[in-house]
Structure 1
Amino acid sequence: MPTTNRPLHRLGFLTIGLFDPAAPRAGHEATLELIELGERLGYDSAWLRHRHLQHGISSPVAVLAAASQRTSRIELGTAVTPLGWENPLRLAEDLATVDVLSGGRLNPGVSIGPPMHYDEVKAALYPDTADAEDFSYERVLRLVRLLQGERASSFSGTQGIETFSERVEPHSPGLADRLWYGAASMRSVVWAAEHGLNLLTSSVVKAEDSDDFDETQLAQIHAFRAHHPAGEAARVSQGLVVVPTDSATREQRARYEAYAASRLPRTREPQGPARMMFAPDLVGTSEQIAERLEANPAFREVDEVAFALPFTFERDDYVQIVTDVAEHLAPALGWAPGS
């Protein structure tokens, strides 16, 4: 299938939300301030990674609840929440609550599979049910059904002075339609399409029929739209790491280039038993990055992005990057605020 050329319509950024474990509030506050800056710059969306037992945001939904009260327009997403750590019913309650608070701006992204380092954490996470937990796609479907308002309890009505509902409350109509799936394999891509989810494709894919990253990602996007009820209108967001240097200092440029160079070897061939492939980080002026993206066949197939911020940079670096993306890179790709 030939590639198209879709002008960039929706601009987002993705951050891990690093913090100092000795003083975690400052890092969380910096993340909230970055989301506020994104709204002022005209970004369409801001996304948080999910990091358990690390010094990154462990509870994006809680942080996004705070962000919903400090912003009014920008959409708020998770990319992604690994459902192996979650009870779908409790997560549905939290997601619906934040969606209501935000005025319908929440875009939850999820994935499946056992939690990372499961043997080491299962005694704390699922002390009584570790061997019985289902980490399959069914966990996603449970979440979808609950967000849609499917019955969650066989009891409803009044008991004493309390009133009970049979569905998750609050119910937020339309939230289930804004659920995204973070897929790396063709199997997951096709499954997400067949179940009508939106697709988050990132800088990581699984080498299956090809060892070429761009070729693999392009094939996944084509397969997703071929199997999705919405066809070519099915939503796909791409999340490459881009670091424009237009307003960066000399010291920042040197550090950015060294960071990208240190990660380049992993992009040359599939990594590990799962044969995961990584896209190179794109560092340079907005003009240079735009040229590389416009030559990328997978990028030409999407009209929305959630550009990922590098994991280990400083607050001022992130401010410079998201500003240069909004003011220089994204306009060069056809984006304008409110487009």
Structure 2
Amino acid sequence: MRSSSTSRRAANDLARGTALGTHGRYEIVEMINRGGTAVVYRGIDREKGGGEIALKCIDVSSDARVVVPLAAVKREIKYATRLMGGNGSNAGVPGVVRLLNVVNHGEDVLVLVFELAKGVDALDYINQHGGRLDEDEARRLFAQLVEAVRAIHDLGFCHRDVKPENAIVCEDGNLRLIDFGLAKGLESAKTRAVGTPDYMSPELLDKLDRDGKVRTEKYDAAACDVWSSGVFLFIMLTGRYPFQDPNRPNNVKATLQNIVKGNVAPLRVDVSDDVRDLLRCMLTPDPRKRITLKQVAKHPWLSGSLGRRKKPSLVDRLKQSFTFRRATTSD
């Protein structure tokens, strides 16, 4: 006989058509992604004329497969709400997906309702374009990433998990940053070994002090986002992870050793000198010597690229206008 722990269906494994929220406002259509702590579904908002949304469903039950600390969930909601700028317009943070609502489904599932960023994650986008991007396209997307991360820092917190899988290249060609599950205040970031190993900066891996005790002092979390953004750029240009040992690609220990030592994989010969210099400055092991995002924005390789987002086509603008009118008349 199997134990209940192995046969129990996760509380956030929800079927198509499941209604969520007060009066069943939201309806699940299909699963988009499954992570360690949450399942994300595409859904519709019945109160807004059937407009599409993303439903991040977190199993908060005591016997969840991965127990999520309530404090972590509260942090994600706190920082995602802060990005809305108080009026829900998300003006000034065009590269970030908005949080629209928070509801519960019974006692075991907390649902974060986000606007739906239609597109593919940046890693899939890279693979769809032959495994790497040319410099012009990488520059365009990277400029948008830098703007989004800078906006987050300007609001007093860091992302701590910047990577292609947490960025959507939308149907309009623009990049949107998602997933604030590891976000933390810039002045309160103390926990190390946070994030995804391939993107962690050396200081995040330095968990113990000289006496073998766990470090508890604050670190420069903004510098950690600079590092992971540099890894993001390296992957766009090469299709490879900068610190992965080619002879041991699945060996996490080898990857982490290369990160600590600053052993960056060689770039292709056709990569420009300007972007080589930018990557060198971003992937500097010592955070005190690492370039800042403000300096990144002024780097010659990015000169003139910031603030340029693709404008939606006439058809897309008409669709958005129609959706808005339909939503407002149905309230």
Report TM bin, short chain: under 0.3
- TM-score for both structures, normalised by structure 1: 0.26
Higher relative contact order (CA 8 A, sep 6+): 1
More helix by share: 1
- TM-score for both structures, normalised by structure 2: 0.26
